[in-house]
Amino acid sequence: MVNRFQNVDFVRAYKVLSLRAMGIVRHYGGPDTFDGGFDYEDVLGEVFHEFFNSPDGLGWKESKGSIEAFLGKILHNKIVDHLRRQKHLGGPLDDDSRTVAPPASKNSPQGVAPARAKTDFTAKLYTLVGDDSPLKDLIVAAEMISGSHNVNQELGEILDKTPHQVSKLKDRLLKKEGVRELYASRQAARTRA
Protein backbone atom coordinates (compact mmCIF):
# COMPACT_ATOMS: atom_id res chain seq x y z
CA MET A 1 0.00 0.00 0.00
CA VAL A 2 1.29 3.44 -0.92
CA ASN A 3 2.17 5.71 1.97
CA ARG A 4 0.30 8.92 1.14
CA PHE A 5 2.88 10.92 3.09
CA GLN A 6 5.86 9.73 1.08
CA ASN A 7 5.65 12.74 -1.24
CA VAL A 8 5.41 15.26 1.58
CA ASP A 9 8.57 17.36 1.75
CA PHE A 10 8.95 17.66 5.52
CA VAL A 11 12.28 19.47 5.29
CA ARG A 12 10.85 22.16 3.02
CA ALA A 13 7.85 22.43 5.35
CA TYR A 14 10.19 22.95 8.30
CA LYS A 15 12.05 25.75 6.49
CA VAL A 16 8.84 27.44 5.37
CA LEU A 17 7.40 27.27 8.87
CA SER A 18 10.61 28.59 10.42
CA LEU A 19 10.46 31.68 8.23
CA ARG A 20 6.75 32.02 8.89
CA ALA A 21 7.38 31.81 12.63
CA MET A 22 9.89 34.66 12.37
CA GLY A 23 7.26 36.68 10.54
CA ILE A 24 4.61 36.00 13.18
CA VAL A 25 6.91 36.98 16.03
CA ARG A 26 7.97 40.08 14.07
CA HIS A 27 4.36 40.94 13.35
CA TYR A 28 3.40 40.97 17.01
CA GLY A 29 6.60 42.61 18.10
CA GLY A 30 7.64 39.82 20.41
CA PRO A 31 11.27 39.09 21.07
CA ASP A 32 12.57 35.86 19.59
CA THR A 33 12.88 34.34 23.02
CA PHE A 34 9.83 34.17 25.19
CA ASP A 35 8.16 32.13 27.92
CA GLY A 36 11.22 31.37 29.98
CA GLY A 37 13.73 30.63 27.27
CA PHE A 38 11.32 29.35 24.64
CA ASP A 39 11.82 30.65 21.14
CA TYR A 40 10.07 30.13 17.85
CA GLU A 41 12.16 27.04 17.10
CA ASP A 42 10.86 25.41 20.27
CA VAL A 43 7.30 26.23 19.26
CA LEU A 44 7.96 24.83 15.79
CA GLY A 45 9.36 21.69 17.42
CA GLU A 46 6.19 21.47 19.52
CA VAL A 47 4.04 21.62 16.39
CA PHE A 48 5.93 18.78 14.71
CA HIS A 49 5.97 16.85 17.98
CA GLU A 50 2.16 17.02 18.19
CA PHE A 51 1.84 16.17 14.52
CA PHE A 52 3.95 13.02 14.81
CA ASN A 53 2.46 11.97 18.13
CA SER A 54 -1.02 12.15 16.69
CA PRO A 55 -1.81 8.76 15.09
CA ASP A 56 -3.62 10.49 12.21
CA GLY A 57 -1.28 13.47 11.87
CA LEU A 58 -3.78 15.82 13.55
CA GLY A 59 -6.23 14.85 10.85
CA TRP A 60 -4.30 16.42 8.00
CA LYS A 61 -5.15 15.34 4.48
CA GLU A 62 -4.44 16.98 1.16
CA SER A 63 -7.98 18.32 0.89
CA LYS A 64 -7.20 20.48 3.93
CA GLY A 65 -4.47 22.31 2.02
CA SER A 66 -0.71 21.96 2.00
CA ILE A 67 1.05 20.64 5.07
CA GLU A 68 2.76 24.05 5.44
CA ALA A 69 -0.59 25.85 5.49
CA PHE A 70 -2.16 23.33 7.87
CA LEU A 71 0.70 23.31 10.37
CA GLY A 72 1.19 27.05 9.80
CA LYS A 73 -2.19 27.78 11.36
CA ILE A 74 -1.34 25.69 14.41
CA LEU A 75 2.05 27.39 14.64
CA HIS A 76 0.44 30.83 14.43
CA ASN A 77 -1.99 30.05 17.25
CA LYS A 78 0.74 28.59 19.45
CA ILE A 79 3.07 31.57 19.01
CA VAL A 80 0.27 34.04 19.66
CA ASP A 81 -0.65 32.03 22.75
CA HIS A 82 2.95 32.09 24.02
CA LEU A 83 3.21 35.84 23.43
CA ARG A 84 -0.13 36.42 25.12
CA ARG A 85 0.94 34.42 28.18
CA GLN A 86 4.19 36.33 28.33
CA LYS A 87 2.34 39.63 28.14
CA HIS A 88 0.03 38.67 30.99
CA LEU A 89 2.61 37.06 33.25
CA GLY A 90 5.31 39.66 32.77
CA GLY A 91 8.15 37.17 32.98
CA PRO A 92 9.28 33.62 32.41
CA LEU A 93 6.75 30.99 33.49
CA ASP A 94 9.31 29.01 35.45
CA ASP A 95 10.58 32.05 37.33
CA ASP A 96 9.29 32.09 40.92
CA SER A 97 9.82 35.83 41.19
CA ARG A 98 7.58 36.61 38.23
CA THR A 99 4.95 39.27 38.62
CA VAL A 100 1.36 38.22 38.66
CA ALA A 101 -0.63 39.59 35.79
CA PRO A 102 -3.32 42.11 36.62
CA PRO A 103 -6.84 40.93 35.94
CA ALA A 104 -7.87 41.54 32.36
CA SER A 105 -9.92 44.66 31.95
CA LYS A 106 -12.96 44.93 29.73
CA ASN A 107 -10.83 46.54 27.07
CA SER A 108 -8.09 43.95 27.16
CA PRO A 109 -9.65 40.55 27.60
CA GLN A 110 -7.22 37.67 27.87
CA GLY A 111 -8.67 36.18 24.72
CA VAL A 112 -7.45 38.88 22.37
CA ALA A 113 -4.31 38.51 20.30
CA PRO A 114 -1.26 40.54 21.25
CA ALA A 115 -1.17 43.98 19.66
CA ARG A 116 0.57 44.32 16.38
CA ALA A 117 4.17 45.49 16.52
CA LYS A 118 4.67 49.21 16.29
CA THR A 119 8.11 48.83 14.80
CA ASP A 120 8.58 50.82 11.62
CA PHE A 121 10.43 48.12 9.70
CA THR A 122 10.72 50.24 6.57
CA ALA A 123 12.46 53.10 8.39
CA LYS A 124 14.68 50.63 10.22
CA LEU A 125 15.64 48.96 6.94
CA TYR A 126 16.55 52.29 5.33
CA THR A 127 18.76 53.04 8.31
CA LEU A 128 20.51 49.70 8.01
CA VAL A 129 21.34 50.04 4.30
CA GLY A 130 22.69 53.56 4.78
CA ASP A 131 23.97 55.13 1.56
CA ASP A 132 23.82 51.96 -0.51
CA SER A 133 21.70 53.25 -3.41
CA PRO A 134 20.87 49.91 -5.13
CA LEU A 135 19.61 48.54 -1.82
CA LYS A 136 17.64 51.71 -1.12
CA ASP A 137 16.04 51.35 -4.56
CA LEU A 138 15.21 47.75 -3.71
CA ILE A 139 13.34 48.86 -0.58
CA VAL A 140 11.52 51.59 -2.50
CA ALA A 141 10.43 48.98 -5.06
CA ALA A 142 9.34 46.59 -2.31
CA GLU A 143 7.09 49.30 -0.89
CA MET A 144 5.28 49.38 -4.22
CA ILE A 145 4.43 45.68 -4.52
CA SER A 146 2.00 43.33 -2.85
CA GLY A 147 4.67 40.73 -2.07
CA SER A 148 2.60 37.68 -2.83
CA HIS A 149 3.69 35.78 -5.94
CA ASN A 150 6.79 36.13 -8.12
CA VAL A 151 8.31 38.80 -5.92
CA ASN A 152 11.61 38.86 -7.82
CA GLN A 153 9.78 39.26 -11.11
CA GLU A 154 7.72 42.16 -9.75
CA LEU A 155 10.73 43.87 -8.20
CA GLY A 156 12.75 43.27 -11.36
CA GLU A 157 10.15 45.00 -13.51
CA ILE A 158 10.25 48.08 -11.29
CA LEU A 159 14.04 48.14 -11.03
CA ASP A 160 14.71 47.10 -14.63
CA LYS A 161 16.63 44.09 -13.41
CA THR A 162 16.36 40.37 -14.02
CA PRO A 163 14.94 38.16 -11.24
CA HIS A 164 18.44 36.73 -10.82
CA GLN A 165 19.86 40.22 -10.28
CA VAL A 166 17.10 40.95 -7.76
CA SER A 167 17.92 37.73 -5.95
CA LYS A 168 21.58 38.75 -5.72
CA LEU A 169 20.59 42.18 -4.41
CA LYS A 170 18.52 40.53 -1.70
CA ASP A 171 21.41 38.27 -0.85
CA ARG A 172 23.54 41.41 -0.43
CA LEU A 173 20.83 43.04 1.68
CA LEU A 174 20.80 40.04 4.03
CA LYS A 175 24.53 40.46 4.56
CA LYS A 176 24.05 44.02 5.86
CA GLU A 177 24.52 44.13 9.58
CA GLY A 178 21.22 43.99 11.42
CA VAL A 179 19.01 42.96 8.51
CA ARG A 180 18.88 39.28 9.41
CA GLU A 181 18.16 40.15 13.02
CA LEU A 182 15.39 42.47 11.91
CA TYR A 183 13.82 39.74 9.76
CA ALA A 184 14.12 37.15 12.51
CA SER A 185 12.77 39.66 15.02
CA ARG A 186 15.84 39.39 17.17
CA GLN A 187 15.97 43.14 17.59
CA ALA A 188 12.34 43.97 16.92
CA ALA A 189 11.49 44.40 20.59
CA ARG A 190 14.25 46.95 20.97
CA THR A 191 13.49 48.94 17.83
CA ARG A 192 9.99 50.12 18.48
CA ALA A 193 9.32 53.48 16.87
Partner 1 sequence: MPRDKQPEQEPDILDKLFGDAAELADDELDMLFAALAPGADPAADIHAIAEAAAVKYRIQNKMPPDHVQAAIDATREIKTLDNVAPSKLRQIVDAIKSPFTGAVSDPAYAYRNRDGELDNDDQAIVDDLTDELQKDWDDEEKEP
Site for partner 1 in 42-71 (CB under 8 A): 45, 48-49, 51-53, 55-57, 60, 62-66, 68-69
- Quick one: which of 11, 59, 102, 177 contacts partner 1 (CB under 8 A)? 11
Binding mask 143-162 for partner 1 (x = CB under 8 A): x-xxxxxxxxx-x------x
38 - beta bridge partners? 34
Using the minimum distance from each CB to partner 1, give the nearer residue, 34 or 60.
60
Least Å from the CB of residue 36 to partner 1: 21
Backbone angles phi, psi at 38, to 5 degrees: -70, 145
Residue span binding partner 1 (CB under 8 A) among the ranges 87-95, 99-107, 169-177: 169-177
Q: Does 24 bind partner 1 (CB under 8 A)?
A: yes
Q: Does 8 bind partner 1 (CB under 8 A)?
A: yes
CA angle 75, 80, 83 (to 5 degrees): 125
- Quick one: which of 25, 43, 83, 184 contacts partner 1 (CB under 8 A)? 184
Q: Does 112 bind partner 1 (CB under 8 A)?
A: no
Q: Does 187 bind partner 1 (CB under 8 A)?
A: no
